[in-house]
């Protein structure tokens, strides 16, 4: 039995070591033609900066033009070959219909489609707001499907990549995020199935799912304040992991370190998983002593 446990440890260490290896060479994305959604702030902004440092050509999208202009200026300072803006609301089908056509026209093709945008959702217990859940599904899922579908012909020509930013909540649901978790589970289902179909068609397109834990974006910090007892990790580092994984065409990327073990063990020990989740969210069951009758 001892030898079996030893071999299991060796295998797990080997897998972790493989996952931690990073053979990413920024030169591999120099001059790459990249469309990044949700690029006005947070992880999307940092993703744009990493591509810019490598000398990529960028189209960045978001709803807020002023914020995008600031990102554009910094991208050019960092070394981007060129940067174009598309102002669009991903909750509006009319807005997103023209995004791919405009981006490809500006860039002359497409090598990377980075789907990063998310709809705002309060970090609170479910209170039955179905209309908000429906809107969130439109922004966080349907728009991803729309853009990816429109990009397939262009990415086929360039043997390009789709990079999808997902979340640990798309693997292991957590409190206060029921509608959000549903959208991330939908992304997992659709893009993994699409990857299988592309393989069956012998398509050259790669799909990378990025499974992220708690990242220190302003929005995440405001929502989780005093509700979560785990540390947040830097958006800049998360963005680098995303860009690196996409360039290396890996199927799934996990960041930070605890995300992969959590996903790996989630179905083996469900009771421990649920206990850990509740403790992470500062939940302590109320214990009342029963009085003897």
Q: Is the model's pLDDT at 207 over the cut of 90?
A: yes
Q: What is the pLDDT of residue 265?
A: 79
Distance CA 26, CA 53 (A): 8
- How many CA within 13 A on the CB side of residue 215? 28
Q: Is the model's pLDDT at 290 over the cut of 50?
A: no
- In this structure, the number of other CB atoms found within 10 A of the CB of residue 281 comes to 15
Distance CA 266, CA 169 (A): 12
Q: Is the model's pLDDT at 15 over the cut of 60?
A: no
Question: Among candidates 121, 105, 166, 117, which has minimal Cα distance to 143?
Answer: 117
Angle between helices 178-200 and 130-137 (to 10 degrees): 30
Distance CA 23, CA 51 (A): 16
Residue pLDDT, tens place only, 165-186: 999 999 998 899 999 999 999 9
Distance CA 293, CA 291 (A): 6
H or E element that contains 67: helix 65-78
pTM above 0.75, yes or no: yes
Question: Among candidates 104, 198, 211, which has minimal Cα distance to 147?
Answer: 104
What's the CATH architecture for 26-280? 3-Layer(aba) Sandwich (3.40)
Three-state secondary-structure class, residue 162: strand
What token pair was written down for 229?
């007892």
Q: Which segments of the chain are extended strands (E)?
A: 33-36, 57-62, 82-87, 112-115, 161-167, 206-212, 252-255
Mean pLDDT of all residues belonging to the chain: 89
Contacts of 33 (CB under 8 A, 6+ apart): 56, 57, 107, 108, 109, 110, 111, 112, 158
Query: Among 74-83, 148-157, 253-262, where is mean pLDDT lowest?
Result: 253-262
Q: What is the pLDDT of residue 286?
A: 54
User: Distance between alpha carbon 227 and the CA centroid of its chain, in Å?
Assistant: 22
Residue pLDDT, tens place only, 58-67: 999 999 999 9
The tokens 């978790």 sit on which residue?
181
Band (pLDDT 50/70/90 cuts) for residue 121 is confident
Q: Which segments of 63-160 are extended strands (E)?
A: 82-87, 112-115
Q: Is the model's pLDDT at 156 over the cut of 90?
A: yes
Q: What is the pLDDT of residue 192?
A: 95
Q: Where are the domains of the chain?
A: 26-280
Which range of 2-11, 51-60, 271-280 scores highest in mean pLDDT? It is 51-60
Band (pLDDT 50/70/90 cuts) for residue 262 is confident
For the annotated catalytic residues, the residue numbers are 180
């Amino acid at each position: 039995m001892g030898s079996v446990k030893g071999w299991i440890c060796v295998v797990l260490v080997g897998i972790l070591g493989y996952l931690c290896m990073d053979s990413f060479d920024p030169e591999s994305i120099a001059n790459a033609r990249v469309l990044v959604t949700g690029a006005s702030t947070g992880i999307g902004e940092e993703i744009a900066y990493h591509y810019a440092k490598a000398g990529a050509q960028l189209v960045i999208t978001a709803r807020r033009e002023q914020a995008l202009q600031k990102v554009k200026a910094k991208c050019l300072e960092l070394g981007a070959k060129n940067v174009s803006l598309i102002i669009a609301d991903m909750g509006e089908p009319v807005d997103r219909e023209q995004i791919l056509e405009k981006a490809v026209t500006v860039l002359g093709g497409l090598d990377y489609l980075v789907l990063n945008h998310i709809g705002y959702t309060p970090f609170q217990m479910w209170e039955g707001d179905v209309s908000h859940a429906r809107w969130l599904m439109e922004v966080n899922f349907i728009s991803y499907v729309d853009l990816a579908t429109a990009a397939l012909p262009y990415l086929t020509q360039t043997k390009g990549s789709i990079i999808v930013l997902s979340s640990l909540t798309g693997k292991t649901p957590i409190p206060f995020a029921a509608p959000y978790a549903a959208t991330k589970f939908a992304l997992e289902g659709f893009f993994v199935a699409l990857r299988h179909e592309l393989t069956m068609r012998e398509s050259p397109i790669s799909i990378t799912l990025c499974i992220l834990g708690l990242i220190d974006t302003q929005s995440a910090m405001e929502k989780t304040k005093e509700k979560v007892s785990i540390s947040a990790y830097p958006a800049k580092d998360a963005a680098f992991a995303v860009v690196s994984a996409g360039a290396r065409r890996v199927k799934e990327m996990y960041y930070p370190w605890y995300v992969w073990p959590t996903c790996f063990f989630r179905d083996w020990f469900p009771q421990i998983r649920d206990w850990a989740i509740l403790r992470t969210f500062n939940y302590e069951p109320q214990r009342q002593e029963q009085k003897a009758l």
